[in-house]
Amino acid sequence: MGKKMIYILIVAMSVVLSLLIFVQMNIINKAANIKEEQFNQLVKRCLIQVASRLQEEEAYQFIEAENKRALDQLMQSKTQLYETGIISQYKINFSFNLQKDQYGNIRTSSSIQESDTLLTPKQNQEAFNALAELNRLEQEQLRQSFEERDRYTRSIQYQLELANTPIEERVNREQLATLLKNELQSNGINLDYEYVIKSYPRGNEKIIIQSDNYKNNSKKEHQTPLFTKDIGSQKPNYLKIYFPREQSQFIKETGIMVVPTAILLILIIGIFTYTIFIILKQKKLSMVKNDFINNMTHELKTPISTISLASQMLRDNTVHSSPSTIERITGVIFDESKRLSNQVEKVLQMAVFNEGRLKLKFKNFDLSEVVTSVVQNFEIRVQSANGIIKLENIASQSIIHGDQVHITNVLFNLLDNAVKYSKEAPIIEVKVYNKKDIVAVSVQDNGIGIAKEHQKQIFERFYRVPTGNVHDVKGFGLGLHYVAKIIEIHKGTIKVDSSPNKGTIFKMYFPIKE
């Protein structure tokens, strides 16, 4: 897959993900708006119901007071009748009627007729008892009449008397609080709330009744007008309520929809990102492997060509076959065969190493001694390149637990790179020192250096720092990968500090074996 196709794929998937997020957020937003609108409508119905109940209770109390006044007048007439002694002297024919007038008010009528017959004490008591029973029947009839009346019917007298009554005298705070609480709870609204009754005489706001924690700067209040059935123009009296935690409640309820959606979107984005990462990594590995194959082909082709040329010279009768010539040609064949064998062996060893089949032999050994031995063996090669190698050993403790052979190979690889990547006469400084409970080895050179963007990749398998079409230094890109793996197995770390044309410092840290 080419870079252009990868970029097109990234753009296409990014656009699709963006549209998916937009559509999902739009759906969630609409659902939240619908839920908020439903809540607003429910609160509005509750307020309307409370306002209606206030007006009904007011009407009920007014009519009850009127009927009680009429009943009190009737009882007063009976008391006066008894106190005058009429019942004790004469037999009374008493009749009492209840009826509604055209406005729905209860009206009473009674008639009393006297007889010339005097009553005995026993008849007098019977008449009194009859009057008491009549009184009970009258009250029961009045009660039944009160229950059967239509509460929504208001008399002209009631409307005229209460329409102009100040709002302060028409609403009881305790009654309002009880009605609000019961109505909200019956509709499933269990949020904390604050309420107020406001009047606007001549356009000026006036608070009539308010809850203890009401704040007048609330941004969102639900409201409904009060006493809308009064005669005349609508009075500017409103019952208002707000919920301090309404927004947090909506966010909490919306979160039930948002959280799963966010998780799914994060998973999709994560999978998409990981897929792109894998594609780019595979693309990079493909390029590295192609570079490795090209390098390996070149590295193997050179000794093979040399061996082939030397063989042709031996078979060619025109070449002088003196002992010295044959010795020189066979020497070339031997050297190139050995070189070819080393290259193949290096690739095979790395394959075994990466498959986990490489077995190490761990033991305690002195790292300082190994470093000293490697530096001494490498000194001849450095001098042949007109270079200098220095060793500074200041470690007081340098015993580590590991495979001495592979640690030696690590040191040889680093020193070999220090020589190969030096354009001028190599100057190499090796230092062994202690740092807390570890022993450190640093290898510093004056070579071409490594750019910052390549320093994290030089330890990857097959990776070689790009040099364009120039291939002055041969190799497969396996040396530093081998170094990093061996140090990792020994529970150590390796760091690199380098700048182009200023040299490189490799620092290795190993735990000290007590």
* Residues 6 or more apart whose Cβ sits within 8 Å of residue 132: none
- When comparing pLDDT for 461 and 373, which is higher? 373
Residues pairing with 106 in the sheet: 100
The reported pTM is 0.43
* pLDDT number for residue 244: 82
Instruction: List, as one string, the DSSP characters of 137-181.
Output: HHHHHHHHHHHHS-TT---HHHHHHHHTS-HHHH--HHHHHHHHH
Instruction: Provide φ and ψ at 511, rounded to 5°.
Output: -70, 140
Residue of 87, 91, 65 whose CA lies nearest to 78:
87
Residue 281: CB atoms within 10 A of its CB come to: 10
- When comparing pLDDT for 227 and 288, which is higher? 227
Instruction: Provide φ and ψ at 451, rounded to 5°.
Output: -65, 155
Q: For residue 2, is pLDDT > 60?
A: yes
Q: For residue 297, is pLDDT > 80?
A: no
Q: For residue 16, is pLDDT > 70?
A: yes
* pLDDT number for residue 159: 61
* pLDDT number for residue 440: 94
At residue 111 the predicted structure's pLDDT band, cuts being 50, 70 and 90, is: very low
* pLDDT number for residue 61: 75
* pLDDT number for residue 338: 73
At residue 509 the predicted structure's pLDDT band, cuts being 50, 70 and 90, is: very high
At residue 103 the predicted structure's pLDDT band, cuts being 50, 70 and 90, is: very low
* pLDDT number for residue 437: 87
Give kind and range of the element (H or E) at residue 189: none
Q: How far apart are CA 407 and CA 30, in angstroms?
A: 66
Q: For residue 156, is pLDDT > 90?
A: no
* Burial annotation 471-501 (CB, 10 A radius, 16+ → b, else e): eeeebbbbbbbbbbbbbeebebebeeebeee
Q: What share of the chain is helix, strand, coil (3-state, %, to 5)?
A: 55, 15, 25
Q: For residue 96, is pLDDT > 50?
A: no
**243-286 pLDDT, tens per residue?**
887 777 767 666 667 778 788 888 888 888 888 888 887 877 77
Lowest mean pLDDT among 38-47, 93-102, 234-243, 397-406: 93-102
Lowest mean pLDDT among 2-11, 338-347, 461-470: 461-470
In the chain, the amino acid numbered 302 is T
Q: How far apart are CA 39 and CA 344, in angstroms?
A: 78
Q: How far apart are CA 333 and CA 451, in angstroms?
A: 39
- When comparing pLDDT for 63 and 241, which is higher? 241
- As given in the structure block, the two tokens for residue 146 are 């009160």
At residue 429 the predicted structure's pLDDT band, cuts being 50, 70 and 90, is: very high
Instruction: List, as one string, the DSSP characters of 336-403.
Output: HHHHHHHHHHHHHHHHHHHTT------EEEEHHHHHHHHHHHHHHHHHHTT-EEEEEE--S--EEEE-
**180-234 pLDDT, tens per residue?**
989 888 888 888 888 888 888 877 888 888 888 888 776 678 888 888 777 666 6
Contact between 114 and 127 under an 8 Å Cβ cutoff? The reply is no
- As given in the structure block, the two tokens for residue 255 are 């979160």
